[in-house]
Structure 1
């Protein structure tokens, strides 16, 4: 049986894919329109989700804080001016990296210590970190829906229950 953390990560990927399919059907300016909201634009919210996904992938892989900070510090420049299709490909690349990482792990419930210069040390299972990544993505996909509604546009349902229903059709 698939580990629950892997199922949750599959949901995260599914929800992001669903969001991208929806965003690609909207006028391009809806993605970049400057808003008075949680993020300056939908695009910036996407970059944030993408960045945090990388923070935790690199951290779980064991990269140092400085190496993680350097790597994710390049993301704003790497994503600048990207189309929604290019962003979708970047998200897929991140998902591929996560899947490769998961494939190398024999125990997603293994404890690992994570150290942050300001927050201290945390002992957590890989599964706990995956839960955080999924929760983070869910929260900000909700922000994106609110930002779209602020522009008079509809969002797309990405709740976990819709993922479960969708999976039963396959």
Structure 2
């Protein structure tokens, strides 16, 4: 019995190592705060561990855990714990991606900060749809499965979210220039 538990723990540990950074990035984009993202990922992984047999036997365990994360975020948001990006969280922006490309890294950090602030202003479902479709690069079908809704709902929320982001003064110019000023 102990060997099976140890093997399960090792399998779960390997899973966590393979998906931690993606889950953190997605959670940060959803919550807008580093600590809230860490809490969300931790809670999601706790639930995944508790039902690891089910999760590990799923067709796509990463999609299963992504769905857990989105459900937990939505549940917390419904309870009125809506989180917005604050100025003190700008220091953690560098932890989000693969790092800045060549060029003016200060301008890229400012651009990323502007984009994250705009993203944080979107309603929850629109933010989820935009993050899943454009940051996680999921298909509409995969995003719908993760969000627990129809493909049409994903399309609608993503389109509305992108439209609102386009209305943010200066954001489109920043994004179109690719972070180069």
Structure 2 length-normalised TM = 0.30
Larger gyration radius, structure 1 or structure 2? 2
TM-score by length of 1: 0.32
Say which structure is richer in strand: 1
Bigger fraction of residues in helix = 2
Q: Select the structure with the greater relative contact order (CA < 8 A; seq sep ≥ 6).
A: 1
